[in-house]
Copies of this chain bind each other. A is one copy, B any other.
């Protein structure tokens, strides 16, 4: 296990195994070929060719979303999509563009549409160094149960903003009041593209840092995190380098924090791979 391994496993994407999901000239997603084949029978919704899958369902955003929902129903029944998450993500060619349709979060990897999240590095400085707030995910989580996590992390649902999601998730996941979270500093984005059992995760994570005061103790409210701990940054990095204790993408978010704050230094043999491996250019 090494830093490199975590970066590689979040970038296990082979272009030869996928075809684009398009709407006109715009690419909306990346379908693994086996998933694309499954869509052949939904002729009113998708036109499946050798080189790609075209969304042919028309109408308003609501109408297309309802039509695609019908397909997702069938995929859930066949266990190709794990289950309805009842939370929708916007599907658009790019972040700043209006959605073409809304898609249940559970079906996002099947279609390989880009998903956006917010991750908050909570840290505390003391005389004896820099510490990171680390959460342990509930054993009931569908994705990465029991794994270690950032202080706060969440997906950006359809129609919600980045700051808005940060404030909401900080309140629900760690009881961080608005008076504190407003001091969080945006510090970039971590991006990666990986193949999973379900399809393709094409993820962009907006990253924030929050220095927490001495009297702050996070407290989970939504049951998604069972425990928070303040761990010395060096210990966190050692653990990332030598184990898979952290959720796959949280390794990358913390490595980005470590690089930006000089916790990982040019003398480290993996420094350049880390510094250049966390920000997949968007296409």
Task: List residues of chain A with CB under 8 Å of any chain B CB.
Answer: 95-96, 162-163, 185-189, 191, 204, 206, 259-262, 265-267, 269, 271-273, 275-282
Contact = CB atoms under 8 A, between A and B. Distances in A.
Is chain A's binding surface mostly helix, strand, loop or mixed? mixed
25 contacts: A95-B272, A162-B266, A162-B267, A185-B262, A186-B259, A187-B259, A187-B260, A187-B261, A188-B259, A188-B260, A188-B275, A189-B271, A189-B272, A189-B275, A189-B276, A191-B276, A204-B272, A206-B266, A273-B282, A276-B280, A276-B281, A277-B279, A277-B282, A278-B279, A279-B279
A186 B279 contact: no
A227 to B, nearest CB: 29
B262 A187 contact: yes
A-B pairs with lowest CB-CB distance, top 10: A185-B262, A189-B275, A188-B275, A162-B266, A279-B279, A188-B259, A276-B279, A191-B276, A186-B262, A260-B260
A279 B190 CA distance: 11
A271 B272 CA distance: 23
